[in-house]
Every structure is written in structure tokens, then in C-alpha cells.
Amino acid sequence: MAKDLPEEWTNGTLNTLYVVRDLGLKKSGVPADLRIKRKKGKTTSVLYAEYLPSEADDPRPHAGRTRNGKGRRITRESSTGTKDPFQAGRAAIEWVLEDQRQARAKKEQQEQDEHHNLHAYWEGYFAKESRKRETTRGFARWKRDECLKWEGEGYGIKHQPWSNKPVDRINTLDLEDYWSVLDQRRTPTNDMSGTKKQQKTLIRKLLTEARQQDFPHLGIPDFPEISSQKQQVRHLTRKEWDLLLKKVVELSEGAARKDLSVSDYQDLQFSKANNQNQRNWVDLYDCLNLMWFFYLRAEDLPRIRAEWFQDRGEEIVCVLEITKGDRNKQETTHYRSDALENWRRMNQRRPKGFLVFPHTKRSAGETNSTLKRTWNLLLRAALDACGIPSDGMTMTNIRHTAFRLTLEEAPELGQAPAIHSFAENGMTSAKMLQETYLRFIEQESTAKKVRAKIKPGTWSMVRGRIGDPD
């Protein structure tokens, strides 16, 4: 039975009436906090209904909380279309029951979708692959790399809105949006094409997981084209390379080129508080030469041990025990004859254990971020001291330099069949050598030859040619 309205409502001092408590309108499922309200100070305006859904049943993001789930919860409201409180109360009941029904349906759909989005298949894929790999060499690195692809801040797959969609609703437009996200991270030395390829591989694996488990007819959407690198990778010229090594020798006070025993090496000036110390400059010199002679990747440097090198008399062979992609042991050798003397001198002062910055602690198979930061800071400091632009330069650019200058000095290595042997020795592919170095070498060589052949025109501003007018 409807109740009499409170006097405070009638005289306008009360602006809220609870539908059950104040109006006596009861119906199964109606929340106790359902209320009708009028705007403060207005006794004739249309009334609206308001309630706060339970947190468990609220389908809104963060269960209706503001500030990404950290603020207060937000009420639901709707106009009743009437000024009469009892009519408004009955309209409020109809509205809240329908609103709850829709919320339950949405919640059920969300729960169903959660079982069929990329998050669910990531958990299954990662657990399954981890079990397969946990006893293999390089498991820690694989785990780290896969987690970065999934969880990487801003660019990781899990942070993309479409990762919450059921997998059968992911489309090419979603992936185009993702490519745009990745493109925002482009730098002069990284066009993100490599990252796109890695992310594409993981997405396809997750969709394949979904197809095997729940969606046998799931189609893989078309991925946007991944444009190949168009800009030349940063590398040093031969003059710059020689200047760099000379400067590092100077910074080491000549120690980098000396025949140091183990004790001599240990006695070099060293400070943990200042990276630019004598021993570290010697370490950087050796690090540069390892990449120069053996075409090593920066990621391999922290793991390189003296025991991985074999002195075979006329050549030194590096047997990489842990390589990119967890491939089998990789043998790589040098193409420069002075590698022999350099290696033997290096081996004399560090006959066993880690070769690169051995005093920086790390475990076997680990790429130490402190170590990477140290050698890149030293590299840039040495380049700055030479007057060579150092912005964006890392040890990866030294590998590029080694490949580029070798191909410039020995053009036959760019032709079949030698290119395939060279690529294999450098732990890369002939295609990569062609696309990253050879095409730019050819462009520059062609331009140089043509410039030498084509003569200035009669009316060129260049003076000094016979027959030219003054």
C-alpha cells in the first residue's frame, strides 16, 4: 500500500524518496536503494530514478569506479518522465528491473567473451610452451622475450583494446590500429618492422591456439603489410672506425694494445663509481674487436666466454653455445688476418670465464641491462671524444659496421656463392646482407662512377675548363 508523502517532500525541503521505504512500492528484485529524485530547489520538475548496482553485477569497466577503478563508484540514473512521485516510483521499478536484466546479460556475455579472448589463449599457450622449454638452454631468454611481446608497456598485445574481444571478432582494422601504435615508437635507427614481425608471429600462435581449442573454423585476419627498412642502418666509415679504436686506446692510456697478463689486467685502474676507468676502456676495446672480427650480436656479448674460442693455428673459431632463436651451436670465424694477434692478446689477459666486462655480475645465458648500459655509455663517450655523432649509437651499430666495411673491402663476398657462406658465418641471411648493406653500397658506387663520367655542361658555373668563357 502506498504511503503518505513526507511533509518535507511536500514543502520542498526533501529532494529524495526511496521507492520501497518512503513510497511503500515493493516488488521482488527491486534494490533497497532505488530512489526518485528531483533537482534541488525545483518542486515541479520531472523526477528521475537512481540506484547503485552491486559491484559483482556491474558490467561497467572497473565495476563502475572512476579513475581506472581507484575512485568512487558511479550510480545509474534515468528519467521517469513524470512529476508524480508514485507514478515515478512505479516507472523506476520497471526501469531498474530491465536495467538489471540487461546488466546480467552483458555480464554473462563478458564472462563468455573472457573465455574466448586472447588473454585466455595466452595463458594456455604460455603455460604449454613453458613446460616444453623449461629444461632447454635459453628458456629464460625465451620466457623474457615472449612476456615482453605480450606485456610490453604500451605496445604489448595485452594492452590493446581488441585483445579483450572474442577471437572470432578480431579483424584487420584492429591490426591496422595496432600497427599505428607500433609506428609511434619508430626511431631513426628502428623502423619497427622487426617488432611487427615478432608481434605478428605471437598473435598468429594465439589465434592458432584458439582454433585448436574452440574455433575449428577460425580464420586468421589479414595483417597489414610490414614495410621493409628503407633507410640505411647507421654504421661507421673506415676512417671513423680507425679513429674510434685509436681514441679508446688513448683513453686506456695505451693498455688496450699491451700484452697484459692476468695480474696486469687486474691491476689496471678501476672504479665502480666511475665507468670511465682504465680497465673498462680496455674491456670496451676488446668488446669492439670481438664484434669487428666475429660479427657478434650485442645480445651475445654478455654470454661470450673464453672457453668458446678455439685457436686452430691459422684461424680462431668462436663456437657460440647460445644463439639467437635457440639454434644449435654456431661456429663463426674471422675474415681479417689481424684477428689472430688480437684474440691471443685478449686471451692472455682473460684466459677463462666471461670475456666482456667480466667484473659485471650476471648469470650464464643472461643479458644484463646494467652491462648494456655501461658499454653503450662508454661507446658514445668515445665517439664524442672523436667528434663523431653519437646520438642513438649502440653496440648493434658496431655489428652493422663490421658487416658493411667487410662488404666494401671485399666486394666478392656480396656475390653468390660467397654471400651465402659469409651470411652463415655471420649468423644472418644473404637476403639481410642484400637489403641492409649491399643495395646501399651499390647505389653509392653507381653514383660515384657516374659522377666521374659525366662532364659539366658548357655553361656550368664550374670554372677552369678549356674553352669556358670567363
Q: What is the pLDDT of residues 448-459, one digit of tens each?
A: 999 999 988 888
Residue 411 lies in a domain: yes
Calculate the average pLDDT of the chain. Answer: 87
End of a domain among 62, 85, 111? 111
User: Do residues 206 and 307 share a domain?
Assistant: no
Band of pLDDT at residue 398, cut at 50, 70 and 90: very high
User: Do residues 285 and 356 share a domain?
Assistant: yes
User: Do residues 172 and 122 share a domain?
Assistant: yes
User: Do residues 86 and 152 share a domain?
Assistant: no
Residue 225 lies in a domain: no
What pLDDT, in 10s, does the model give residues 231-269?
Answer: 788 999 999 999 999 999 999 999 999 999 999 999 999
Residue 72 corresponds to which cell in the numbers above?
A: 568512487
What pLDDT, in 10s, does the model give residues 40-91?
Answer: 656 568 999 999 998 877 878 788 888 888 888 889 999 999 999 999 999 9
Band of pLDDT at residue 370, cut at 50, 70 and 90: confident
End of a domain among 70, 88, 111? 111
What pLDDT, in 10s, does the model give residues 327-339?
Answer: 557 889 999 999 9
CATH of the domain at 250: 1.10.443
Q: Is the pLDDT of residue 407 over 90?
A: yes
C-alpha–C-alpha distance, residues 250 and 285, integer Å:
11
End of a domain among 111, 128, 151? 111
147-174 average pLDDT score: 90
Predicted pLDDT at 232? 83
User: Do residues 307 and 420 share a domain?
Assistant: yes
Predicted pLDDT at 188? 63
User: Do residues 275 and 393 share a domain?
Assistant: yes
User: Do residues 182 and 157 share a domain?
Assistant: yes
Residue 229 lies in a domain: no
Predicted pLDDT at 160? 93
pTM (whole model) above 0.75: no
C-alpha–C-alpha distance, residues 125 and 202, integer Å:
10
User: Do residues 323 and 410 share a domain?
Assistant: yes
Predicted pLDDT at 105? 75
- Residue whose C-alpha cell is 660479427: 295
Q: Is the pLDDT of residue 377 over 60?
A: yes
Predicted pLDDT at 433? 92
C-alpha–C-alpha distance, residues 93 and 230, integer Å:
64
Band of pLDDT at residue 27, cut at 50, 70 and 90: confident
User: Do residues 190 and 276 share a domain?
Assistant: no
Predicted pLDDT at 113? 55
- If one compares 364 and 185, the residue with the highest pLDDT of the two is 185
- If one compares 403 and 439, the residue with the highest pLDDT of the two is 403
How many CA atoms within 13 Å lie on the side-chain side of 41?
0
User: Do residues 203 and 351 share a domain?
Assistant: no
Residue 39 lies in a domain: yes
Residue 467 lies in a domain: no
Is residue 309 within 8 A of residue 316, CB to CB? The reply is yes
- Residue whose C-alpha cell is 677552369: 464
User: Do residues 170 and 299 share a domain?
Assistant: no
The H-assigned helical ranges of 334-394 are 339-349, 369-386
Residue 218 lies in a domain: no
Is residue 199 within 8 A of residue 157, CB to CB? The reply is yes
Domain, as residue range, for 164: 118-213
Q: Is the pLDDT of residue 114 over 90?
A: no
Predicted pLDDT at 220? 87
Residue 468 lies in a domain: no
Band of pLDDT at residue 2, cut at 50, 70 and 90: low
Q: Could you tell me which of 136, 191, 238 has the C-alpha nearest to residue 246?
A: 238
Residue 318 lies in a domain: yes
C-alpha–C-alpha distance, residues 112 and 171, integer Å:
19
What pLDDT, in 10s, does the model give residues 283-319?
Answer: 999 999 999 999 998 888 888 899 999 999 899 999 9
Residue 37 corresponds to which cell in the numbers above?
A: 529524485
Q: What total number of domains does the chain contain? A: 3
Predicted pLDDT at 192? 86
Predicted pLDDT at 465? 53
Band of pLDDT at residue 385, cut at 50, 70 and 90: very high
Q: Is the pLDDT of residue 365 over 60?
A: no
User: Do residues 85 and 168 share a domain?
Assistant: no
Q: Is the pLDDT of residue 171 over 70?
A: yes
